[in-house]
Amino acid sequence: MGDVKVTETIDLDALTAWMREFGRLISDNRDLLTDLDAAIGDADHGVNMERAMTTVVHALDTDRAATVAGLLKQVALEIVSAAGGASGPLYGTYFLRMASAVGEVEVLDPQGFSIAMQAGVEGLVARGKAAAGDKTMFDALAPASEALGKALASGESLRDALRAASAAANEGRDATTPLVGRKGRASYLGERGIGHQDPGATSAALLVAAAAATLPGS
């Protein structure tokens, strides 16, 4: 048997801390996200995501759901209601698929969180038909999910596995810069989009960085 860290758990407080940290990172990087989106999109990704995460954090602080699935669904619905553009439906789908994967539990183990992240990625594929190299948030979240699963399977702690996932997300984000966008407004630019980092991949990398900073919690 491997050295599985069975004592590590993610509870509702930890998930709330994850969302709060994601909101903080989005706010800190709002102008960057806006500038990136100005180059290949509508110049509203930073504002949309900041508005969405402010709404999410307020909802969790005011009337948080009592289960992991309920909390993740709550996050999804708040993002969809508050974020404009493509980011709302995509992030909403990601968190809804996570919610469907975890079931009505109050605590997640590392493997359960990894399964949920992978379900979120599969949701992005189903919703947006995204694939590697399309210059989208998939390019950050897919390698992050894969790295998390591999690290946990090799016996690493959740904290170390999430750090590996964050590094993989950052690499995927950076790899979007030389790509030609194949989805959304970025696809309209063709080769003129080369040299611009994808804003969706950038915010997605912040999501994983927030997880690495806060989970499994205290």
Q: Is residue 159 part of a domain?
A: yes
Beta strands at 107-108 and 10-11: parallel, antiparallel or unpaired = antiparallel
Q: Is residue 115 part of a domain?
A: yes
The answer for 110, left when phi > 0, alpha when psi is -120 to 50, beta otherwise, is: alpha
Residue 152: give the domain boundaries.
10-214
- Whether the CA torsion 205, 48, 43, 91 is positive or negative: it is positive
Residue type, 64: R
Tens of pLDDT, residue by residue, the chain (218 residues): 344 444 689 999 999 999 999 999 999 999 999 999 887 667 789 999 999 999 999 999 999 999 999 999 999 999 999 997 788 999 999 999 999 999 889 999 999 999 999 999 999 999 878 777 678 899 999 999 999 999 999 999 999 999 999 999 999 999 998 655 545 554 434 444 455 789 999 999 999 999 999 998 75
* pLDDT value at residue 40: 62
* pLDDT value at residue 190: 44
Contact 132, 142 (CB under 8 A): yes
CATH of the domain at 137: 1.25.40.340
Secondary structure E strands in 10-169: 10-11, 107-108
**Phi, psi at residue 10, to the nearest 5°?**
-120, 110
Q: What is the DSSP string of 11-23?
A: EHHHHHHHHHHHH
* Dist. CA 86–CA 127, nearest whole Å: 11
Task: Give the number of other Cβ atoms within 10 Å of residue 63's Cβ.
Answer: 8
Pull the structure tokens for residue 163.
Answer: 């750090």
Pull the structure tokens for residue 176.
Answer: 């979007």
**What is this structure's pTM?**
0.90
* First-to-final CA distance of the chain: 26
* Dist. CA 147–CA 167, nearest whole Å: 9
Q: Is residue 3 part of a domain?
A: no
Q: Is residue 149 part of a domain?
A: yes
Q: How far is CA 186 from CA 37, 57, 84, in A?
A: 9, 30, 16
* pLDDT value at residue 195: 57
C-alpha torsion 186→191→193→198, nearest 10:
70
For tokens 């909802």, the residue is 59
* pLDDT value at residue 192: 43
Q: Is residue 1 part of a domain?
A: no
Among 102, 100, 99, residue whose Cα is nearest residue 110: 102
- Please state the domain count of the chain: 1
